[in-house]
Amino acid sequence: MDYIHLRELQFFGYHGVLPEENVLGQRFRANVSLAVNVQKAGQTDELDNTVSYVGVYDICKEIIEGKPFKLIEAVAETVASRILEAYKGQVFGCRVEIIKPDPPIPGHYKEVAVEIVRGRFYE
């Protein structure tokens, strides 16, 4: 199994349980890893034989900067589902991490994040 990684994607969205999160918005980051087979792409050097990084980025952007969700778990699930649907037959699994660097939690911490793994590993 080969992997394509898109790391530290940055967006601005309106996800959260608190009303002010839905009004003011905040920064979000995403890391996405795709389980793929890129052997043919490596041999042919042809874009048609791999997954478009731009397409994956656009899916993430549309969801994270789009309709607000209460939970970043729902954001991650939606991103994973859309990627798997858009690249059926090319992406066998994906790992999606959604990072909320500035949640409204009192205290000292770097960030909060949710990471999920979804896929069709046995197709």
120 pLDDT band, cuts 50/70/90, is confident
Distances (CA, A) of 20 to 14, 40, 70, 88, 98: 9, 48, 12, 37, 20
- pLDDT given for residue 104 in this prediction: 87
What's the predicted TM-score (pTM) here?
Answer: 0.94
Mean predicted confidence (pLDDT) in 6-25: 96
- pLDDT given for residue 51 in this prediction: 97
32 pLDDT band, cuts 50/70/90, is very high
Report the chain's mean pLDDT, rounded to a whole number.
95
- pLDDT given for residue 122 in this prediction: 54
Token pair for 121: 């590993």
* Residues spanned by the domain of 73: 2-119
Q: Is the pLDDT of residue 58 over 90?
A: yes
Burial 5-25 (b: 16+ CB within 10 A, else e): ebeebebebbbbeeeebeeeb
- pLDDT given for residue 108 in this prediction: 86
Catalytic (active-site) positions? 100
Domain CATH number, residue 28: 3.30.1130.10
Residue partners of 73: CB distance under 8 A and separation at least 6: 114, 116
Q: How many distinct structural domains can be found in the chain? A: 1
pLDDT tens across 62-109, in order? 999 999 999 999 999 999 999 999 999 999 999 999 999 998 888 989
